[in-house]
């Protein structure tokens, strides 16, 4: 006896019913037998729950507290000032809004960076750890203790990162480009990751100068430490301005070291090239040109000085990426993988995707295909987390006179 059968689902592999037992997909096909509950999806498209590889819950929703900025340095400085006054309740309230928006847009797995330093202390972390527990019914949250403002230049931050891991953070995040000694920061974080056996996620190479990349340093250290498959790089916008041969060389290093890259189009487009007027380069890493590299697109910031936009829709991010890279319908499946299978590998999720035996984490889109979902930035109408319905979104109704 199955717990639930979803009939008339449209999957990438064709029309199917989905049988669910104990939170997992037990069968795919037709005439699956008896179930406690049967739901007819009417031919609607089913995707696996979307995976957000990179977001900042702690500094979302700050737009009303600060003015406009002209550079990433100004954005970091603006938040640096504000976060001294962050309370646990404040971070919790802003983070909860973002998580609820993300859930209703189909996200079921999320990695959030949380700034841990002498200004924020461990308050933001405490709030996000509480959110992790409160929303576990609908979303799996990975918490990345993050040194946004440098490590070697910010005494006390290293000890706070270690405390954050002891309190329950899942991994470590760094930002070499804000450190006065980027190479030392990379070494310190790899050492710490080895001591605690955790993954690493760096904000890296966030400018439009093709020189001075830290990709080689990260890839070399990854291989030396045996950390292949455990390191993700966010932004990496230097890739957007490298010559072809240099791009190919760096892609080769990333593939060899199994280091992943996550583009953050909303932020990368907004902050890069601000000083260059209407001929500004696009400033987003060309993920589709990185052969054999695990890649993702993700949200990054929501309504703050880094990115004054955001509805937490990963389908919007994949659509934005496709649009700005001139990618047509033939590339849509690859763009969809950037918000599903790619980030699932980055988060090292076990049993992810629409296969028998895997977790029954599914969203339902009122469209005829996954490609149409991407093209139209469809909002899911319902989702099932571990086989239990975790949200619904009633359709808009026209009220005729």
Q: Residue 232 Cβ, how far from Zn ion at the closest point, in Å?
A: 11
Under a CB-based contact definition with an 8 Å cutoff, are residues 132 and 55 in contact? Answer: no
Q: Is position 299 an interface residue for Zn ion (rule: CB under 5 A)? A: no
Minimal distance, residue 175 CB to Zn ion, in Å: 8
From the number of C-beta atoms within 10 Å of its C-beta (0-12, 13-18, 19+), residue 317 rates as buried
Whichever of 48 and 234 has its CB closer to Zn ion, that residue is 234
Closest CB to Zn ion: residue number: 300
Q: At what angle do helices 215-225 and 244-257 cross, to 10 degrees?
A: 20
Q: Which is nearer to Zn ion, 258 or 300 (CB)?
A: 300
Contact call for residue 124 and Zn ion (CB under 5 A): no
Stretch that binds Zn ion, among 66-74, 240-248, 272-280, 300-308 (CB under 5 A): 300-308
Site string for Zn ion, 195-234 (x = CB under 5 A): ----------------------------------------
38 phi and psi, to 5 degrees?
-125, 130
Among residues 142 and 300, whose Cβ is nearest to Zn ion? 300
Pick between residue 16 and residue 300 the one whose CB is nearest to Zn ion.
300
Site string for Zn ion, 246-285 (x = CB under 5 A): ----------------------------------------
Pairing between β-strand 107-115 and β-strand 140-146 as defined by DSSP bridges: parallel
Q: Residues in contact with Zn ion, total (CB under 5 A)?
A: 1
Q: Which stretch binds Zn ion (CB under 5 A): 63-71, 88-96, 295-303, 342-350?
A: 295-303
Stretch that binds Zn ion, among 280-288, 299-307, 337-345, 387-395 (CB under 5 A): 299-307
Minimum distance, C-beta of residue 90 to Zn ion, in the bound complex (Å)? 20
Extract the tokens encoding 329.
């319908």
Q: How far is the CB of 148 from Zn ion (least distance, A)?
A: 8
Stretch that binds Zn ion, among 121-129, 247-255, 298-306, 378-386 (CB under 5 A): 298-306
Region binding Zn ion by CB under 5 A among candidate stretches 2-10, 45-53, 293-301, 392-400: 293-301
Smallest distance from Zn ion to CB 16, Å = 37
300 in contact with Zn ion (CB under 5 A): yes
Site for Zn ion, rule CB under 5 A? 300
């Amino acid at each position: 006896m199955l717990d639930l059968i979803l009939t008339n689902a449209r999957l990438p592999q064709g029309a199917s019913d989905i049988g669910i037992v104990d939170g997992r997909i037990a069968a795919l096909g037709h005439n699956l037998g008896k179930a406690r509950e049967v739901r007819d999806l009417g031919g609607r498209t089913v995707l696996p729950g979307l995976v957000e590889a990179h977001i900042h819950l702690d500094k979302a929703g700050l737009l009303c507290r600060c003015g406009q900025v002209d550079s990433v340095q100004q954005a970091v400085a603006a938040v640096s000032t504000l976060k001294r006054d962050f309370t646990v309740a404040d971070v919790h309230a802003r983070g909860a809004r973002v998580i609820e928006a993300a859930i209703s847009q189909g996200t079921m797995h999320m990695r959030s960076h949380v700034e841990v330093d002498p200004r924020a202390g461990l308050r933001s972390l405490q709030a996000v750890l509480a959110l992790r527990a409160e929303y576990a019914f609908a979303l799996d949250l990975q918490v990345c203790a993050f040194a946004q403002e440098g490590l070697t230049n910010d005494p006390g931050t290293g000890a706070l990162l270690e405390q954050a891991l002891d309190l329950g953070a899942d991994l470590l995040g760094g930002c070499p480009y804000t450190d006065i000694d980027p190479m030392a920061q990379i070494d310190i974080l790899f050492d710490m990751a080895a001591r605690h056996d955790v993954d690493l996620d760096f904000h890296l190479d966030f400018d439009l100068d093709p020189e001075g990349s830290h990709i080689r340093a990260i890839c070399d250290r990854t291989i030396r430490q045996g950390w292949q498959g455990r390191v993700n790089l966010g932004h990496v916008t230097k890739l957007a301005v490298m010559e072809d041969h240099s791009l190919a060389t760096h892609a080769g290093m990333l593939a060899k070291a199994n280091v992943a890259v996550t583009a953050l189009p909303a932020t990368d487009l907004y902050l890069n090239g601000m000083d260059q007027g209407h001929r500004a380069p696009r400033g987003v890493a060309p993920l589709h040109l990185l052969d054999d590299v695990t890649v993702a697109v993700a949200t990054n910031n929501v309504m703050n000085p880094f990115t004054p936009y955001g509805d937490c829709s990963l389908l919007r991010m994949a659509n934005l990426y496709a649009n700005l890279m001139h990618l047509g319908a033939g590339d849509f499946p690859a763009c969809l993988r950037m918000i599903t299978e790619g980030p699932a590998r980055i988060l090292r999720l076990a049993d992810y995707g629409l296969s028998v035996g895997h977790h029954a984490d599914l969203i339902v889109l009122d469209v005829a295909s996954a490609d149409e979902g991407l093209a139209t930035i469809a909002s899911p109408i319902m989702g099932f987390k571990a086989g239990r319905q975790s949200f619904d979104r009633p359709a808009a109704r026209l009220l005729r006179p």
